Amino acid sequence: MQDDRPFSSTGRPWREERFSLQVGGRAVPGIAWFPPRACAGLVLACHGGSGHKESPAVLAIRDRLLPEGHAVAAIDGPVHGDRRADGSRDPGAARADFRAAWRNGAARDDMTEDWRAFLDALLARPALSGCPVGYIGVSMGTAYGLPYLAQDGRVRAAVLGLWGTSYPASEHLAPAARRVRASVWFTQQWDDEIFDRAGVAELFDAIGSRDKRLVAYPGPHLELAGERLEDAAAFLVKRLHAASQPAAGRPSSMEPG
């Protein structure tokens, strides 16, 4: 389904497409937004544990990157959005169900498979053929994103953060992080009430990328917004632009997934 309408803030047109993929016997609901001109890049956006593919945090990412010429695409998490049997999008219910699923080890491998299949479907579209790919996802987006990025070298740059090794059921994340080769902008909230500073630093340190940076902001655990979103988006735009240049200017450490 396509929906052509303007940005509320800029008046620029965009095109929306909804997906329902079958991956490993499960339905994967997705959505993508395309700019009105040739795509400068494609950014996969993963919401947090209390959100869904059209949550305010994802829409803020969309509204920041589409005017730059980047397509933005998202899927629902394992117990979120259109994957919820009750159809509820209540943040409190989603957060509680996500934390329970995470501690039980649910969907660790499924989300990696879902992202790979979703990216396959997107890159099969002529409008996105050859576009450099980025990823943005903090908190839950990092918890499921690191294992995915470890296996899919098509992603050239990633925004991650708001997760650490000391959180329960996170013992697999540092080994996954060591396999990541994409350029990484990793953020933490200095007063995060969920993830301690030592665990966040340890997870960042494990990331195997040559091009990585840890950026701290004051305040509690929060989705990307304002200055933090602006800084993250600027990093993605710059790295994806570099990735679209001739091969001689690209990092040699990238490997296909």
pLDDT of amino acid 9: 44
Model confidence pLDDT, tens digit, residues 106-138:
888 999 999 999 999 999 999 898 999 999 999
pLDDT digits (tens, 9 = 90+) for 186-207: 999 999 999 999 999 999 999 9
Report CA-CA distances (Å) from 225 to 118, 145, 183, 205, 233.
25, 19, 21, 25, 10
Q: What is the largest distance, in Å, between two alpha-carbon atoms of the chain? A: 51
What is the pTM assigned to this prediction?
A: 0.91
What does the DSSP 8-state code read for residue 124? T
* Separation of alpha carbons 174 and 231, rounded Å: 25
Tell me which amino acid residue 135 is.
Y
Instruction: Determine the average pLDDT of the residues in 39-66.
Output: 97
Is the dihedral angle over the CA atoms 217, 223, 224, 225 positive or is it negative? Answer: negative
Question: CA-to-CA distance for 235 and 93, rounded, in angstroms?
Answer: 33
Mean pLDDT of 139-151: 98
- Cα angle 187, 164, 175 (rounded to 5 degrees) comes to 110
Number of Cβ within a 10 Å radius of residue 37: 9
- Mean per-residue pLDDT for 140-145? 98
**Cβ atoms 230, 64 nearer than 8 A:** yes
Do 134 and 236 touch, CB atoms closer than 8 A? yes
Q: How far apart are CA 137 and CA 155, in angstroms?
A: 13
The answer to whether residue 103 scores a pLDDT higher than 70 is: yes
Burial class (CB in 10 A: 0-12, 13-18, 19+), 28: buried
Say whether pLDDT at 11 is over 60. no
Q: Residue 79 half-sphere exposure, CB side, CA atoms within 13 Å?
A: 21
Q: What is the pLDDT of residues 220-255, one digit of tens each?
A: 999 999 999 999 999 999 999 999 887 534 444 443
- Beta-carbon contacts of residue 79 (< 8 Å; ≥ 6 apart): 94, 97, 98, 101, 106, 107
Closest CA to 228 of 49, 51, 91, 64: 64
Q: From CA 170, how far away is CA 108, in angstroms rounded?
A: 11
Rg (CA), the chain: 17
Question: Residue 239: helix, strand or coil by DSSP?
Answer: helix
